[in-house]
Amino acid sequence: MTNTDKLQPSHIDIPQAGQQAQPEEKATILVTGATGNVGRHVLALLVAGGHPVRALSRAPQAAVWPAEVDVVAGDLADPAALDAALTGVEAVFLFAAPGSGPAFVAAAQRAGVRRVVLLSSGGVDDDAPVQDGPIAAYHAELENALRGSGLAWTFLRPDVFAANTLMWAGQTKAGDVVRGAYAQAAAAPVHEADIAAVAVAALTQDGHAGQIYRLTGPESLTHADQATILGRALDRPIHYAELPAEAVRQMMSAHVPGPILDDIFTTWAASVGRLAPITTDIEKVTGRPARSYHHWVLDHATSF
């Protein structure tokens, strides 16, 4: 725990005889990326826990917000919106936007923010002089900005999101075959709700400052394994048909930027024939095991 993780009161009010101690007022928490896969779960958990919540959104009119949420229009690249969103805020769930670190840190310092929980990336390598690929690089830049900020920070480094397989939905709606590259590429897909649960713990509890949590699902699965589990959960015989990597790259290039696409294919190729690493950080923080990929599919069955 850092010194910034606990406020030092200048005095303590002791209730007099016949008086009842007033419940401690909960401080406002800002959620950025609040309509994203993880952010929407963070928002819902905070509201359910009775925490005052504010959301920063580029298009607030495009979403339906809980009545309890204070919504501020703008994004991390908008200094005026940042200042407005951070006023009176104690903690921030920070969605990583490339290049946003210095401006965010400055605004958070001006506002007196105490703690920041960053949704980073499992690709960040603390021992590498140069990060391998653009995804790890811009997340590492944000991490470094927070490390030197004096704010109490927590980094969440999820590996592969189970939600990545939503890209198969068009194929599963059309038939029982998922076609893609590297059938034997392995990962430990993590449920976005588990990432959110860790985030909320770090936002609302002491003891997480300076921690880096590597978040994975409970098992190493290949693309072929995931297709089989998907079929089992949907009670259909879905299987994975491997296509040449270059053909799949060309198809994906229509909607994925080139450097990001290179990153994805490099990761897939490197994982063939290997077991994906598994961590227990989700259970360590939340007190319960990570949800399985089968569980994730059941939660998203209507999408397929």
- Number of neighbouring beta carbons within 10 Å of residue 75: 17
Please say whether the beta carbons of 2 and 146 come within 8 A: no
d(CA 62, CA 96): 21
Assessment of whether the complete model's pTM goes beyond 0.85: yes
CATH number for the domain that contains residue 109: 3.40.50.720
pLDDT on residue 24: 54
Mean pLDDT of the chain: 91
pLDDT digit string (tens) for 11-47? 333 344 445 544 456 789 999 999 999 999 999 999 9
Question: What residues make up the domain containing 53?
Answer: 27-158
d(CA 221, CA 237): 18
Q: What is the tally of structural domains in the chain?
A: 2
Q: Which two tokens stand for residue 28?
A: 């406002």
pLDDT at 300 over 50: yes
pLDDT digit string (tens) for 117-144? 999 999 999 999 999 889 999 999 999 9
Where b means 16+ CB within 10 Å and e means fewer, 153-190 reads: bbbbbbbbbbbebeebeebbeeeeebbbbbbebbbbbb
pLDDT digit string (tens) for 217-227? 999 999 999 99
Same domain, 224 and 108: no
Same domain, 131 and 245: no
Same domain, 131 and 179: no
The verdict on residue 205 lying in a domain is no
pLDDT on residue 26: 73
The verdict on residue 16 lying in a domain is no
Same domain, 31 and 149: yes
Same domain, 49 and 145: yes
The verdict on residue 213 lying in a domain is no
The verdict on residue 94 lying in a domain is yes
Mean pLDDT of 271-275: 96
Angle, vertex CA 82, rays to CA 76 and CA 86, nearest 5: 125
